[in-house]
Amino acid sequence: MANRQPSSRPPAGPAFAFVLFLIFALLTFGASAATQAADDATTKPANTHQDLICHSDDPTECYPRLFQATNDFQEVRVDQDLPPGLHIRLDVNTGRREAKLNDPNEKNQALEGLPVDSSVVIVEQEHGSDDTQAPSQPQIPKGAPQYEPVGKVKMPQQESQAFRDSLTVLKTLALDDRPIDAALDILRDISHDIYYGLKVAEDSNAIKELLCMISSQEVFSKDGNDDVVDQAGKAAAVLGAALQNNQKALEEVETYWEDISQTTCAGTDHKLGNAVFNMLVPGVPSSEYASGSEAHRLSLTKAKAGALRGLIKSPKIRDDFLANGGMAQILQVLVLERPEMGPAQQKLANLVLDNFLDESMGATPGVWPRAGEVDYDWDYQLKTLAKLHKTEKEHWSAELWKRLQEQRRIAAQSGNRTPEHDEL
């Protein structure tokens, strides 16, 4: 029997175990690499595509465009955007803004130590034999105050300190020494709230300052600067926001309108009541206002129209508007043939419809045009515009012309006069 030569291959057991180890190591490394790649894929775009603001070549000086709020107050840079729902405070001396995440449960340290009344009053109901036959309409006691459909304006749990500071900045300091832009930004954003809109309206000095900024003729001047233009636009936005759908705020302005309308603003001898209703176009010859930036200044018209719309919802202020040539100012803007004026013209056309011509929108018939009064400028100019834009179905001129002629016919019938020929 021949002897078997010993094999040169390694034993099968250890070799097989070594192969299994290699396979396991490769799989583990691959899974780890895939996980790392996935993590990189999810984090890298966020880092590389985050919208940053950089004022120099040093990347360490960059900061996010959208303010990143925490639970502590941090400074908000001038060019940063603020997300909604933050707690904001303003330094009235420097104009510096700080913000943090809003905590509705946070206690106001200024109120600590003040007494709090938490008593409960229980009212016992009277029971009688006539309860089952009670009238369907509630009995109003004699001398009860008149019912107000507007209702009570609910006060927030904690009034905004930034709002208070901004209102103080608006009305107390010299124009060159106050951070007015930051204050107007805060007031513009918060005055849409009915409570804060009412608080603005309750302050006659604040309303006067806003009206003076809006009506300043400096925005049309050759020597006027962009800061004045921007402030006029922001002031108009604040006033429009405060009065929009806020009947109580408008009633507050009515109470002192007669007084502030007779005052004057710094640098002018024109009464405020007249200046406000003649603010849409320059009150100086065309050679004296800036032609190069005229469109920019006329773009304020849209913001001013919003403020004007809120004011003339009051019958008292509306009558002043008509007496001071307000409708002539509106017509001067409507006849401008400039594409950039389209949005402002549409807003002014709606103002005329809603307040004077369209009863379905709350207009009072007969206020304007008045019976027996023929405003040939409006008739001629509107008829011309309606003809010019006859092919444009969405243009405001056709509807405005139609409604004006309807009012003319009503006025003619009430006065037994023959209406004018109004075909286009």
User: Tens-of-pLDDT digits for all 424 residues of the chain?
Assistant: 444 444 444 444 555 555 455 555 554 544 444 444 444 444 444 444 458 888 888 777 888 888 888 888 888 887 888 888 788 888 766 778 888 888 877 766 655 555 555 455 555 555 544 444 444 555 666 655 554 555 566 677 677 899 999 999 988 755 556 688 899 999 999 999 999 999 999 999 999 999 999 998 888 775 656 788 888 999 999 999 999 999 999 999 999 999 999 999 988 888 999 999 999 887 655 544 444 455 556 668 889 999 999 999 999 999 999 999 999 999 999 998 888 888 899 999 999 999 999 988 888 888 998 766 667 789 999 999 999 999 998 899 999 999 999 988 887 777 645 455 455 5
Tell me which residue of 148, 77, 69, 127 sits closest to 102, measured CA to CA. Answer: 69
Domain residues for the domain of 279 are 191-368
Domain assignment present for 321: yes
Measure the CA–CA gap between 177 and 361, rounded to whole angstroms: 44
Dihedral over Cα of 341, 342, 347, 350: its sign = positive
Is residue 354 within 8 A of residue 313, CB to CB? The reply is no
Cα first-last separation, the chain: 129
Question: Of 376, 333, 336, nearest to 352 (Cα)?
Answer: 333
Residue 224 maps to a domain: yes
Helix, strand or coil, per DSSP, at residue 52: strand
Q: Which residues contact 259 (CB under 8 A, 6 or more apart)?
A: 204
Examine residue 258 and state whether it is found in any structural domain, yes or no: yes
Distance of CA 401 to the CA centre of its chain: 30
Which residues are registered as beta bridge partners of 86? 101
Residue 69 and residue 116: Cα distance in Å, rounded? Answer: 32
Most distant pair of Cα atoms in the chain: their distance: 146
Is residue 363 domain-resident? yes
Distances (CA, A) of 18 to 7, 11, 14, 27, 30: 20, 11, 6, 15, 19
Q: What CATH number is given to the structural domain containing 256?
A: 1.25.10
| Separation CA 345–CA 330 (nearest Å) | 9
- For residue 339, tell me if it sits in a domain: yes
CA-to-CA distance for 201 and 355, rounded, in angstroms?
21
Instruction: Flag whether 396 is in a domain.
Output: no
- The DSSP letter of residue 305 is H
Q: How many domains does the chain have?
A: 1
Cα(145)–Cα(138) distance, integer angstroms = 15
**Closest Cα to residue 220, out of 232, 208, 211, 209?**
232
Q: Are 205 and 180 in contact (CB under 8 A)?
A: no
In whole angstroms, how far apart are CA 29 and each of 18, 24, 32? 17, 9, 5
421 by DSSP, 3-state: which? coil
**Nearest 5°: CA angle at 371, between 369 and 376?**
50
Bridge-based pairing state of the strands 52-53 and 74-76:
unpaired
Which two tokens mark 404?
A: 């004006």
Tokens of 312: 């003339």
Asked if the structure places residue 261 within a domain, the reply is: yes
Give this prediction's pTM. Answer: 0.64
Q: Is the dihedral of CA 100, 103, 107, 108 positive or negative?
A: positive
Phi-psi region of 384 (alpha: psi -120 to 50; beta: other; left: phi over 0): alpha
Q: Is residue 85 part of a domain?
A: no
CA distance 96 to 206: 21
